Chains A and B, each alone.
Chain A
Amino acid sequence: MLQTNLTHLTSEEKFNQTLKENENVMVCCGRMGPMCIPVYEAMEELEPTYKNVKFADMEFDSPTGNLIRSLPETKNFNGLPFTVYFKNGKVVKATSSIQSMDQITNILDSNFTK
């Protein structure tokens, strides 16, 4: 399990349930690596402010990680982490590799109305 304070999506059932129960979901799929940790930390910082968004992580190398790895939106990605933003269960944005706090907040603000 990833060492973060985010919701861990450890099974397909939990992933589907999270998308079903939350209008706006941000999932960061990675490892405990140098490009991934800053994204998890930014998500942890943003979680109290963006109450309209569910922030979750997923282990890249787990079977569940395949749910993100196999998305058409991530097929050209080759930099960890893969971060995917869902609205009503549909992908609205996906990014590869490290993202800054500004880049993440811009995506949240432009795709998820508060």
Chain B
Amino acid sequence: MNENHYDVIVIGAGPAGLTAGIYLARGKMKTLILNEGTVGGQMVLTHEIANYPGIEKISGFQLSRTMRNQATAFGAVIKSNIKISKLSLNGEIKSVEINNKETFTAGVVIFATGGKSRNLSIPGEDEFKGKGISYCATCDGDFFQDKNIIVVGGGNSALEEAVSLTKYAKSVTIVHQFDHFQAFDHAIEEAKNNPKISMMMESKLAEFIGTEKLEKVKIQNQSSNEIVEKPIDGVFILIGYEPNTEKLKGIIALNARNEIVTNDKMETNISGVYAAGDSTAKQFRQITTAVADGTIAALSAIEYLNAQKIKDAA
């Protein structure tokens, strides 16, 4: 086999992919981790992790650096910021082409592609990103001292960040498309009891308007379809995440939410193809659950490859 052949290719380098890489490489599997984005995935979006067992407090960045170092120390090769251009998963040998030029092969592929923040995809969103529009309250909150801002969303992140942003902002308006929130009761209560917070329910942002920076937004009421313009200094978009599975449509079995369907061994519907972490169909998405998925996928992959070797030798 050529140097581009591996025992296992892991696609994704968040906690699930890196954990799979650690277990595989430590299990003496020749392992390649391919990653389209930043190593660490959504884990680096977390400033402080305080519920990872065995570690009192750590930043998402530090935890991802440590996982990356562990994986590479055991021998895994990591290529990040690449583009997956072609996948061929059927048959005993799978192939993955990157950047339209280089192809890698392996007996097993593990998808740990994680998720990404949802955008509103409305006019002006790209233009005013960083000039009034933000996706990270902890990062950019202090730019909005004594300003009027909007938080879009109705989940725990949106409501908790809205409360947190009142430390800086003069006023925070929560704009949510439904007539009720999806957040926990305590988060809803805290937001409702905050005198700086007001709420526009059953409403959607329709457009961002400004010249050099964001100046106002158009908001559409979902019941009446009435559109109002609201002058605003900033908008924080916190409407959750979606799985990174666009490239897998029509290739691997996905559910209605485009999450990868797996069994308890993290096997997909294709023999020798596994999945782990936030891109899979499951109820809870935590670093700990991603790490567990990555472990199971790696151990299942080793078991599968060993069984293949016995079969081939027979």
CB distance from B227 to the nearest CB of A (A): 26
A41 sits at the interface (CB 8 A): yes
Contact between B61 and A37, CB atoms less than 8 A apart: yes
Q: How far is the CA of A59 from the CA of B133 in the complex (A)?
A: 22
Contact between B130 and A41, CB atoms less than 8 A apart: no
Q: A35-B135, A95-B130, A97-B134 are in contact. Are A76 and B212 (CB under 8 A)?
A: yes
Q: A45-B81, A76-B131, A97-B129 are in contact. Are A33 and B144 (CB under 8 A)?
A: no
Q: Which of B39, B60, B61, B131 contacts A96 (CB 8 A)?
A: B131
Interchain pairs with CB closer than 8 A, number: 74
Q: Which of A33, A37, A79 contacts B38 (CB 8 A)?
A: A37
Q: How far is the CA of A41 from the CA of B35 in the complex (A)?
A: 12
- Quick check: which of B44-52, B107-115, B252-260, B276-284 contacts chain A, the rest being far away? B44-52
- Lowest 4 A-B CB distances belong to which pairs? A96-B130, A97-B130, A79-B130, A78-B143
Q: How many residues of A contact B (CB 8 A)?
A: 23
Q: Which of B80, B139, B144, B213 contacts A45 (CB 8 A)?
A: B80
B243 sits at the interface (CB 8 A): no
B59 sits at the interface (CB 8 A): yes
Q: How many residues of B contact A (CB 8 A)?
A: 30
B138 sits at the interface (CB 8 A): yes
Contacts of B44 in A (CB 8 A): 34, 37-38
Q: How far is the CA of A98 from the CA of B65 in the complex (A)?
A: 19
Q: A33-B47, A101-B81 are in contact. Are A38 and B139 (CB under 8 A)?
A: no
Per-position 1/0 for A19-57, Cβ under 8 A of B? 000000000000111111110011001000000000000
A6 sits at the interface (CB 8 A): no
Contacts of B213 in A (CB 8 A): 76, 78
Contact between B47 and A34, CB atoms less than 8 A apart: yes
Per-position 1/0 for B124-146, Cβ under 8 A of A? 00000111111110111001100
CB distance from A19 to the nearest CB of B (A): 23
A70 sits at the interface (CB 8 A): no
Contact between B143 and A79, CB atoms less than 8 A apart: yes
B21 sits at the interface (CB 8 A): no
Contact between B140 and A34, CB atoms less than 8 A apart: no
Q: How far is the CA of A78 from the CA of B212 in the complex (A)?
A: 12
A36, A78, A95 interface centre (most CB from chain B within 10 Å): A78
By beta carbon, the residue of chain B nearest A101 is B81
By beta carbon, the residue of chain A nearest B138 is A33
Contacts of B132 in A (CB 8 A): 78
A113 sits at the interface (CB 8 A): no
Q: A34-B45, A37-B44 are in contact. Are A78 and B144 (CB under 8 A)?
A: yes
Contacts of B81 in A (CB 8 A): 41-42, 45, 101
Contact between A77 and B130, CB atoms less than 8 A apart: yes
Contact between B38 and A78, CB atoms less than 8 A apart: no
Contacts of A97 in B (CB 8 A): 129-130, 134-135, 140
B154 sits at the interface (CB 8 A): no
Interface positions, chain B 41-79, Cβ under 8 Å from A, are: 44-47, 59-61, 65
B294 sits at the interface (CB 8 A): no
B17 sits at the interface (CB 8 A): no
Contacts of B130 in A (CB 8 A): 77-79, 95-97
CB distance from B60 to the nearest CB of A (A): 7
Q: Which of A3, A37, A79 contacts B133 (CB 8 A)?
A: A79
